[in-house]
Structure 1
Amino acid sequence: MNDGRKRLSIPVEGPTLRLRLIDPGDAAYLHGLRTDPAYSRHLSTVEGTVLDQQRWIEAYKHREAAGQELYFIIERHDDTRCGTVRLYDIGIERFTWGSWILDQNKPQKAAVESALLSFGVGFDVLGISLAQLKVHDQNQHAISFYRRFGMTEILHFGSEIHFDYPRTRFEADRATYLAILQNEPRA
């Protein structure tokens, strides 16, 4: 990422969570999340073994090095993994946000905190002005969160709903979400 963007400091820390870049040693964890019906019913189907997942991560590391993609493991501060989130199709003006999974080890408010941290990387560190994402239209829990977070539905095509989330909206709402994380009343 030598295009004038800020250098990514890893890990990215929040009040109870941190984001760190995925590595091949996370293959079994990622494969487990992506094949567990409790977490994967709204995700694309995963074929293959843990070794195949490890090879995928090794190939991903080249895209990471090229600044095209950032795949994070979400961890609690006690080093317990509790999810994943990914920024991909990273361009000058937009990135795609997805692969967001939170497991049973997540702390309270992990959805808000992991979203703030990961969007903060895209907007603040990378300096990009628009995040885009898509979600399966049966994933009502995620859709509700995205709408509450201020994302705008731009397209419903087939079984997918596409959302835009501009940096200006993120910046306008950040203090409110930080207050939620700190148990302060909303402004």
Structure 2
Amino acid sequence: MTILDNVSIVRGPNISLRLVQIPDAGYLYGLRINPDYNTHLSEFNGTLRDQEIWIEKYKEREAELKELYYIVERSDGVPCGAVRLYRISPPIFEWGSWILDENKPKKAALESATLVYMTAFDIMGMDEAHFDVRRGNARTLEFHRRYGAIETHATEQDIYFKYPRSKFESDRDSFLSLLSGFRSDS
């Protein structure tokens, strides 16, 4: 099995991450143009066809393990979000484009972030995550701070973080315990 095979679907107790396919363009396009979800993302003015073309080009970066774009799915297969690992340059990667929609189960933020880190640290052998959060995105800022991310610097628009593998390794069991003790179907 290749690394790409190992990261194509990453399963947690209540959700999974599966690599984006061209038929997902409609779902992603809907998220990107929905003001309930796109407030803190880079602006997107394209069409559904533009989203399909973007995915086609992305698949080339995926094949080179330079980027991984996931659909977040509930255990019943219903899409409930998206997340992306990009600028993958071992031992560092960035992640973002993180959206969870109204179909998400409880604790989906914790579980999807944990699955991102399991993918990058455990499967791909990365050492550190980098990401930025818009200053106005208070809930996401609070989440990352509670998760243990370290602020590195800030601009007028964004706050930048890093999250080392060593921190994840020390906290992973407690995160997984929280998630496996909670079933979204109960």
Normalising by structure 2, we get a TM-score of 0.94
Task: Please state how far the C-alpha of 1:9 moved relative to its aligned partner.
Answer: 4.3
Q: Is contact 1:7-1:125 (8 Å) kept?
A: no
Residue type of the alignment partner of 2:83 = V
Which of 161, 164, 177 is the aligned partner of 1:163? 161
Determine helix, strand or coil for the equivalent of 2:81: strand
Determine helix, strand or coil for the equivalent of 1:40: coil
Equivalent-residue separation in structure 2 for 1:77 and 1:183 (angstroms): 15
Residue type of the alignment partner of 1:73 = I
Matches within 5 A, 1:1-187: 8-183=6-181
Residue type of the alignment partner of 1:60 = Y
Provide Cα deviations, 1:59-108, integer angstroms capped at 9, x if missing partner: 00000001100000000111100001111000111000111100000001
Equivalent-residue separation in structure 2 for 1:19 and 1:92 (angstroms): 21
RMSD: 1.4
Provide Cα deviations, 1:135-162, integer angstroms capped at 9, x if missing partner: 1000000000000000001111121100
> What stretches of structure 2 of length at least 5 have no aligned partner?
none
Equivalent-residue separation in structure 2 for 1:54 and 1:9 (angstroms): 22
Provide Cα deviations, 1:116-172, integer angstroms capped at 9, x if missing partner: 111110111110100000010000000000000000011111211000000000010
Equivalent-residue separation in structure 1 for 2:83 and 2:42 (angstroms): 15
Which stretch of the first structure deviates more once superposed, 9-18 or 167-176? 9-18
Residue type of the alignment partner of 1:111 = A
> What stretches of structure 1 of length at least 5 have no aligned partner?
none
